[in-house]
Structure 1
Amino acid sequence: MQITKNSVVTLHYEMFNAEGKLLDKTEEPIAYLHGGYDNILPLVEEALHGKTNGDAVEVTMEPDDAFGDYEPELVRTEDKSVFPMPVELGLMFEGEDEATGEVLLFRVTEVDGSNVTVDGNHPFAGMKIVFKAKVVDVREASEEELDHGHVHGPHGHHH
């Protein structure tokens, strides 16, 4: 079966920076609902359209097409006392962007005494990304998956 709108696509991937350093890869395959549901990066989805089991794609993306530009204003230093829980390096939490009111995912990048540095940028923001993927399976999405806008079952979302 070819990958078309409303297909469930299962794949393995590897992501590299522009210098070829491995940034991320699947241990188990992932599955996403194909066809503009924002479940995968748009340029990757575009490259996968029309592919079948066993096909591979390689997509090189500038920051705007991947994880966005790095925004220095999303890095803040706060006093440890403003956190309601113990703070440690790598801790992730939701917070509000003071400029836009948008809810962002922040991560603790440094703890220095009572100062805690948090970053609302994606860890790969500002990077040129090379995304390599191999299609493991393609099937038609169920009505429930289409209603919910995401994949259920193995390698997908569980309710």
Structure 2
Amino acid sequence: MEERTQNNDFIELDFTGYLQDGSIFDTNNEQIAQKNKLDIKNPERTMCIGQRFLVKGFDNALIGKEIGKEYVIELSPKDAFGDRMPELVKTMPIAVFHKQNINPAPGMSFFLDNYFVRISAVSGGRVIADFNNPLAGKKIKYKFTVIRKITDMDEKIKALMRFFYRQEFEFSIEDKKIIVKLSKNLAPLIEIAKPQWREILGFEIVSEEKDENSKKIKEAETKPQT
């Protein structure tokens, strides 16, 4: 009987996302990205099923899949990036953008106060700004293959760190605890997603202040003499 994926499995996933016209909007396959001149660097290939590493419809579709088999799914907007919301198209004073040293023009897109925005029109000191996801309202397709299930705990922990914190930290495992070594100013990061760590791995995650002085002394001791 073929091995199939289950909820909360960690997997290595190869995927490519397509619009209805066949153009690629996303991939974690570096060769496909390069061939299609997509600016995608260090794409994530480790996913935890059921934890919304991906859009809802794609995440749900990963359950019950055979390892090594290629699949194709089509998603409606509600299962992908959502429907377009008219209330997210706003008319704003151009001064709001000038304060951020931005000179808006139709077709421009950028982040404004941590929100992605696309400029639809500029006229008479007013700007029509669209805060909808660029893929909102679109039907999309994913082609994907589950390469393998991941069982190594270190791989799982590093994947969750990248997902929750956008970076990896030094850590150790002791008695169902993941002890993360951080500088004092980064310690509050660990409070983010503590319940999810317990739910997914059954481990508590705690922080331990990194001894920067010891690290500097050790580096000095091992530095070659000139």
TM-score by length of 2: 0.53
Greater helix content: 2
Q: 20-29 vs 3-12, which deviates more?
A: 20-29
Give the letter for the 1:136 counterpart.
I
**Where does 1:1-159 land on structure 2 (aligned, <5 Å)?**
2-26=4-28, 27=30, 28-34=43-49, 36-83=50-97, 84-87=99-102, 88=104, 89-94=108-113, 105-110=115-120, 112=122, 114-140=125-151, 142=153, 151-152=160-161, 157-159=166-168
Q: 1:42 to 1:82 in 2, by over 3 A?
A: closer
Give the letter for the 1:108 counterpart.
R
Note the residue ranges of structure 2 that are not aligned, 5 or more in a row.
31-42, 169-226
2:40 matched residue in structure 1: none
Give the letter for the 1:10 counterpart.
E
Q: Distance in 2 between matches of 1:144 and 1:11?
A: 14
Q: 57-66 vs 41-50, which deviates more?
A: 41-50
Deviations 1:34-81 (A, max 9, x none): 1x2222223322322233442222111111111111112211121221
Are the equivalent residues in 2 in contact too, given 1:12–1:134 (CA < 8 A)?
Answer: yes
**Identity over aligned pairs, percent:** 25
Higher RCO structure (Cα 8 Å, ≥6 apart)? 1
Whose Rg is larger?
2
Q: 109-118 vs 11-20, which deviates more?
A: 109-118
Q: CA deviation at 1:140?
A: 3.0
Q: 1:106 to 1:42 in 2, by over 3 A?
A: closer
Greater strand content: 1
TM-score by length of 1: 0.71
Q: 1:75 to 1:29 in 2, by over 3 A?
A: same
User: Aligned-pair RMSD on alpha carbons?
Assistant: 3.1
Are the equivalent residues in 2 in contact too, given 1:10–1:138 (CA < 8 A)?
Answer: yes
Q: Distance in 2 between matches of 1:108 and 1:86?
A: 16
Are the equivalent residues in 2 in contact too, given 1:56–1:132 (CA < 8 A)?
Answer: yes
Q: Distance in 1 between matches of 2:84 and 2:148?
A: 34
